[in-house]
Amino acid sequence: MPHYHLKAPLSDEDIIKLHAGDTVMLDGIIFGIRDANLIRLFDNNVELPQDLIPQLRGAIGLHTAPGVKKLPNGKYEKVSIGTTTSYRMDRFTPGLMEKYGMKVIVGKGGLLDEGCQALVDFKGCYFTILGGTAALETIQVEEIEDVWWEDLMPESIWKFRVKDFGPLIVTIDSHGNNKYKDVKTVAKKNLDNIIAKI
């Protein structure tokens, strides 16, 4: 399968050429998002800071609540930046893509039907990062450039500058292909075959 090295923010053209099974490395800016900040945004209807909104067009969201250390100058130093399971945040995916123009979600475990449909409707992708790779992810984050909603720490909104971030697997693409569903289909078929032989 093809391998791509992309620089964020991403365009529709970047997304359309990607297919489930491809691998990707990322340079540029990615944004750390998590349950608490998404609940505030969509359930509590608290608007994002105005300086952040235009930065989300074509952006990549990483499902994370990083371990950080606050420095005397007010900036944050990375300690451990891992990734969490995505499906519980599935319901926020359509809003992130339609209202704010986010193009990619990076996480673990995939999305549910609503999130998968949003990827098709708004030309987006879901990239899977391998579990247990927080140490590698942390090295690939060059700097924490900004943070919003610090009162939600560590589930604030984070702006990370990354270099050679990955490798990531395109597991759900904008064309409706879904590697998670493919694996479940094969697993069910194998299970049915085993049961039939018992």
Residue 139 to residue 166: CA distance in whole angstroms: 11
CATH number of the domain enclosing 118: 3.20.130.10
Question: CB under 8 Å to 102, separation ≥6 — which residues?
Answer: 31, 56, 58, 59, 60, 61, 96, 124
* pLDDT for the residue numbered 183: 66
Tell me the residue type at 171.
T
* pLDDT for the residue numbered 112: 94
Look up residue 109 and give its two tokens. 């475990």
* pLDDT for the residue numbered 186: 65
Q: Which domain holds residue 108?
A: 3-197
Number of domains in the chain: 1
* pLDDT for the residue numbered 185: 64
* pLDDT for the residue numbered 123: 96
> What are the pLDDT tens digits along the chain (198 aa)?
799 999 999 999 999 999 999 999 999 999 999 999 999 999 999 999 999 999 999 999 999 999 999 999 999 999 999 899 999 999 999 999 999 999 999 999 999 999 999 999 999 999 999 877 888 899 999 999 999 999 999 999 999 999 999 999 999 999 999 987 766 666 677 776 777 777
* pLDDT for the residue numbered 192: 66
* pLDDT for the residue numbered 62: 98
